[in-house]
Amino acid sequence: MEIIIATRKSKLAQVQADRVIELIKEKNNISSKKLLVVTEGDKRLDVTLSKIGGKGLFVKEIEYALLNKEAHAAVHSMKDVPFQLPKGFKLLAIPEREDIRDVFVSRNNIPFEELKEGAVVGTSSIRRAAMLREIRKDLKIVPIRGNVQTRLEKMKNENMDGIILAAAGLKRLNMEEIITDYFDPKIFLPAIGQGALGIEALEDGEYNPYLKKLDNKEVRIAVEAERSFMKALNGGCHTVIGVYSEIKGNDLYMIGIFDIGGKIVKKDILGNREDNIELGIKLAKKIVKG
């Protein structure tokens, strides 16, 4: 008995899949192996995601592997998963979440606060670009895509002063030492589901009962609230959307941003964690009202 886990080929995606394989072993004493899949998003590094279709580009080919029975489940970064899964698919578990923050990686170890006027910063996320502009209007923001290693190479080769990455990826790759600054997630709001892993399978998948055991209830509550917020606003890679969520006891606190007519609107909400889906929708409505 062996569970086949589909994942992207990047080093980070494989580290994440290996972590899920460890958890499957811990919870069920079942062995698993990886099936490596090259996605459209991995092939098209020359254009920004918003121009070629957004989030689903990292997921689609992996879902085909599940449909074709080449794999039993898939491991995704939750921030790559569209809010609407195709018919017949299910998000079985959201096992854990790393640091949700975005970070600044400097080419010459110059802290973000000390960057010269007109410094060049790389990011292809329109959310990150918008957040940067809120803090520093003078920065020159240039597009940069690819896996972590590719982006670091581009930063050096193209003489950028720094790039913005997710703390979670660098920590999972044991590359924390290259982080120059951590952004405050209540000010520089993360992507929906940033730092969280998701396990997807067909609704009738034979190993689903084992995979469901990996679910972390608290992480799922926060991530599903964020995804509910995204769904209510029809957000994705083509929109400036960010969210910070925090669970304290029975409370769920959320801060959200969304671009309304070229202006970034920021609102927050506090409620009972059991009403997580409803809170995401309420936060979206609050933002739309301005």
**Which element (helix H / strand E) includes 129?**
helix 126-135
Confidence of residue 40 (pLDDT cuts 50, 70, 90): low
By the 10 Å C-beta count (0-12 exposed, 13-18 middle, 19+ buried), 85 is classed as middle
Does residue 197 contact residue 246 with C-beta atoms inside 8 Å? Answer: no
d(CA 281, CA 227): 9
Would you state the pLDDT for residue 52? 36
Comparing C-alpha atoms, which of 146, 138, 152 is closest to residue 103?
A: 152
Across residues 208-217, what is the average pLDDT? 97
80 is catalytic: yes
Would you state the pLDDT for residue 49? 42
Confidence of residue 51 (pLDDT cuts 50, 70, 90): very low
Phi/psi at 187 (5° precision): -105, -50
When the candidates are 3.10.450.50, 3.30.930.10, 1.10.340.70, 3.30.160.40, the CATH number that belongs to 216-290 is 3.30.160.40
Instruction: Say yes or no: do domains 1-96+195-215 and 102-182 share a fold.
Output: yes
Domain extents in the chain = 1-96+195-215, 102-182, 216-290
Across residues 7-27, what is the average pLDDT? 95
Confidence of residue 226 (pLDDT cuts 50, 70, 90): very high
When the candidates are 3.40.190.10, 3.30.450.40, 3.20.20.70, 3.40.50.2300, the CATH number that belongs to 102-182 is 3.40.190.10
Which residue in the list 18, 42, 46, 80 is annotated as catalytic?
80
pTM: 0.90
Residue 218, both tokens: 């608290």
Would you state the pLDDT for residue 146? 82
When the candidates are 3.40.50.2300, 3.40.640.10, 3.60.20.30, 3.40.190.10, the CATH number that belongs to 1-96+195-215 is 3.40.190.10
